[in-house]
Amino acid sequence: MTYFGRETIDVVVVGSGLVGSTFARVLADSVPGATIEIIEAGSRLSEISGLHVRNFPTLDARDAAILTAQGHDRRVRLPISTYLPPKSGTGETGTLERPGLFSVSSLGKLPPHMEMPSVAMTSCVGGMGVLWRGSCPQPLGSEVSTLVPPEEHSDSIHQAYQLLGIPLGERPDNLTAELCSTLITRLDINQGIPPSSSIRALPIAATNSPDGTRWTGPDVILAGIAESPRSNVSIRASTHCRKVLLRGDRAVGVEVVDLESKELYQIHAQVIVLAADAFRTPQILYNSGIRPAHLGRHFNDHLQVTLQVVLSQPLQEVAAVASQQVDLGAQGCWIPFADESRPFHGQVLYGFQEDLRSERPLAVTAGISLYGRKEITGDDRVILHDTQRDIYDMPTISLHYRWTRQDRKTIDHLKLSALDIAHQLGVPSRHDPNVLPPGASLHYQGTMRMGATELESVCDAYGRVHTLSNVYVGGGGLIETSTACNPTLTAVALAHRSAKRISIEMKGGSKK
Ligand SMILES: Cc1cc2nc3c(=O)[nH]c(=O)nc-3n(C[C@H](O)[C@H](O)[C@H](O)COP(=O)(O)OP(=O)(O)OC[C@H]3O[C@@H](n4cnc5c(N)ncnc54)[C@H](O)[C@@H]3O)c2cc1C
C-alpha cells in the first residue's frame, strides 16, 4: 500500500447507513459550512446516495444493486431469504441466507464453533438502509433507556420519525384497521393490556403516493446534501477506515485505504463518528488500540418466531378492496410490547414480506413475526482476534453467543403466541412456527453499550467513547436495555441526539 499524505476537514463519519447519514445530515443542518466526509467501504449502487433498492426503476437494476450490496461475496442468492438446515449430527443451528447480505464469517475464516453463520452485514453506500423493511415500532416500558431523560427521549424519537419520513397520524387502510380491531377485541381486552400498548397500525418508513410506494433509505435522511454542490458533505465510497489516529485523549483523524487504488492515507478532523455497525465499529476501535473492557460484550439480537396465516374469508374480502387503494406491502399491524402482560412485540405484515422482487404482494396471507427479548449477558460477545486478520487486514471477528434457558422459555412462549394470533386471523400455514436461527433477526445490539462510566459501558449516552473527548459511536450497538422492538428507530434517535451535542461542541458551547 502507498502512503498518500493527508487532508483536513471538520467531521469524519465512518459508515453511510441510516445512522451515519443521520449524523451527517444533523451536523450539516446544525453547523452550516462544516466540512463533513462520509467514509464508506462499499460501492455506490446508484447516482442517488442511499436509494432503497425497492425504489430502483427496473428489476434488473434492483438485482444488480442487491449483488453489489453483498460487498466481497457476490454469489447470486435466491430472491427470498433461504433457510439452509444444519448438516445432520453437527448440533449446529441452520443458517438464513439473504440477498444483499454477506455473513460475518466470510470476512475471515475461523473454526466453525466460533462462527455464527446467520449474522450478516452489508457493504455499500446506504448500508442495510437500502434493504431494510422499515418497521419502526418505538421502545416502550422497560425497553426505554433510563440514561436519556424522558422528555429528550420523546423528542429524539419524534425527530427520528421525521428523518425517516414515517407518516404518523394517517388513517390506517381498511385491512389494517379491521385486523387491529379483531386483535384488540380478542387479545388486548382479554389479556388486560394497557392502552399505551394497544394494537395499532405499524409505523413503517415508506410513503404512499399515487405514483406508488417510496421506501425510505438513507437518501431520505440525506435529502440530497451528498450530491448538492452547495453543501460541504460528501461520500467517499470504496474507502475503508482502518483506524482512528490518537494524540492523548483526542483523535486527530482516521487512516483509510482507497480499496480501488490501494492508497493508504490520513484524513484529519476535529470530530470522528464511527457508524460502521455493531461489529465493524468495535473492530475499528480495537484496531486503533481503543479497547475498553466492555467493547463487544453484551451482544444481543432478537429471538424471532414467524408464521404465515391464510386470512379468514371476511378479512380476505376487506383485503381485496384495500389492495385497490393502497400498497398493502407498506402497511401492517403492530402488536406492541407491554412488559409482563406481553413480553414481546409482534408485527402482522401482508403478503410475502421479504421478497424484494415482488411488485404488489397479494393480501391473502399475512406474515406474523414475533420478537422476544434476549437475556443479556456479558459472555455473549464479539471477539476480535489480534493475530488473525480478515480480508481487509483488520482483526478477525468471531462471536460467542448462546440461548439461555430463559431464552428457550421465551421462544416457547413466542411460538404459542404466534399460533394464538394466527388462529384469531385465519388458518395458520403450519402447526409449528418457524424459529429463526441465532443472529438472523439482523437487530444487533449492545456491543458498544451506553452507560455512566467505563466500568460498565463503552460510551456515554451521547455516544462519546468514555476515554476520548472527540470520538463518537452510533448504531444499535449503543442500546443497553433488553428490547423486543426493532432497533433502527432508536439508533437514529440516539444519533440525532449525539449529533446535536457534537454541534454544540463544534460551535464552542458547553460540554455538559
Ligand atoms: C432485509 C433487512 C430488513 C430489515 N428490516 C428492519 C426493520 O424493519 N426495522 C428495523 O428496525 N431494522 C431492520 N433492519 C436492520 C436495519 O436495516 C439496521 O439496523 C440499520 O440499517 C443499521 O444501520 P447502521 O447505519 O447502523 O449500519 P449499516 O447500515 O450496517 O451501515 C454500516 C456501514 O458501514 C460501512 N463500514 C463498515 N466498516 C467500515 C469501515 N471500516 N470503513 C468504512 N465503512 C465501513 C458498511 O459498509 C456499511 O455500509 C433490516 C435489515 C435488513 C438487511
Query: From the alpha carbon of 241, which atom of ligand 1 is closest?
Result: 42
**What's the pLDDT tens digit per position in 1-20?**
444 556 789 999 999 999 99
Mean pLDDT of the chain: 91
CA of 138 to the centre of ligand 1 (A): 18
pLDDT value at 512 more than 50: no
**CATH topology for 1-72+119-168+216-295+444-507?**
FAD/NAD(P)-binding domain (3.50.50)
Cα separation, 6 vs 245, in Å, equals 12
* Most ligand 1 atoms within 8 A of CB, residue of 51, 73, 132 to mutate: 132
Cα separation, 296 vs 393, in Å, equals 19
pLDDT confidence of residue 509: 64
pLDDT tier at 350, thresholds 50, 70, 90: confident
**CA-wise closest residue to 148 among 463, 468, 444, 448:** 463
* CA distances for 335 relative to 118, 189, 445, angstroms: 26, 13, 21
Query: From the alpha carbon of 242, which atom of ligand 1 is closest?
Result: 41
Lowest mean pLDDT among 31-45, 122-136, 192-206: 192-206
Lowest mean pLDDT among 43-52, 356-365, 443-452: 356-365
* Most ligand 1 atoms within 8 A of CB, residue of 304, 442, 473 to mutate: 442
CA of 10 to the centre of ligand 1 (A): 24
pLDDT above 90: percentage of residues in the chain: 76
pLDDT value at 202 more than 90: yes
- Catalytic positions, please? 443
C-alpha cell at 282: 468495535
Higher pLDDT, residue 227 or 326: 227
3-state class percentages of the chain: helix first, strand second, coil last, to nearest 5: 30, 25, 45
Cα torsion angle, 290, 50, 475, 395, sign: negative
Query: Quick one: average pLDDT of 197-222?
Result: 93
**What's the pLDDT tens digit per position in 288-339?**
999 999 999 999 999 999 999 989 989 988 888 888 888 888 899 999 999 9
pLDDT confidence of residue 4: 54
Query: Quick one: average pLDDT of 478-491?
Result: 98
Describe the crossing of helices 18-30 and 150-163 by its angle, rounded to 10 degrees.
100
Cα separation, 17 vs 123, in Å, equals 9
Query: From the alpha carbon of 18, which atom of ligand 1 is closest?
Result: 25
Cα separation, 507 vs 484, in Å, equals 37
Looking at 1.20.120, 1.10.3470, 3.90.1070, 3.30.410, the CATH number of the domain 170-202+303-372+402-437 comes to 3.30.410
The SS3 assignment for 503 reads: helix
SS (H, E, C) 216-282: CCHHHHHCCCCCCCCCCEEEECCEEEEEEEEECCEEEEEEEEECCCCEEEEEEEEEEEECCHHHHHH
pLDDT confidence of residue 352: 40
Terminal-to-terminal C-alpha distance of the chain: 42
**What's the pLDDT tens digit per position in 158-171?**
999 999 999 888 88
Higher pLDDT, residue 257 or 171: 257
Give the start-to-end residue ranges of the domains of the chain. 1-72+119-168+216-295+444-507, 170-202+303-372+402-437
Report the pocket of ligand 1 as residue ranges, CB < 6 Å: 14-20, 39-42, 101, 121-124, 127-129, 131-135, 240-241, 275-277, 280, 284, 442, 475-476, 486-488, 491
**What's the pLDDT tens digit per position in 74-119?**
888 877 777 777 766 555 567 888 899 999 988 987 776 666 778 9
The DSSP call for residue 327 is: -
Q: Own/partner pairs for 182-191, CB < 8 Å, 24+ apart?
A: 182/315, 182/424, 182/425, 183/333, 183/335, 183/348, 183/421, 183/424, 183/425, 186/424, 187/335, 187/420, 187/421, 187/424, 191/341, 191/342
pLDDT confidence of residue 304: 96
Q: How many CA atoms lie within 13 A of 382 on its CB side?
A: 32
CA of 18 to the centre of ligand 1 (A): 7
pLDDT value at 353 more than 90: no
Query: From the alpha carbon of 240, which atom of ligand 1 is closest?
Result: 42
**CA-wise closest residue to 123 among 238, 217, 295, 281:** 238
pLDDT value at 201 more than 70: yes
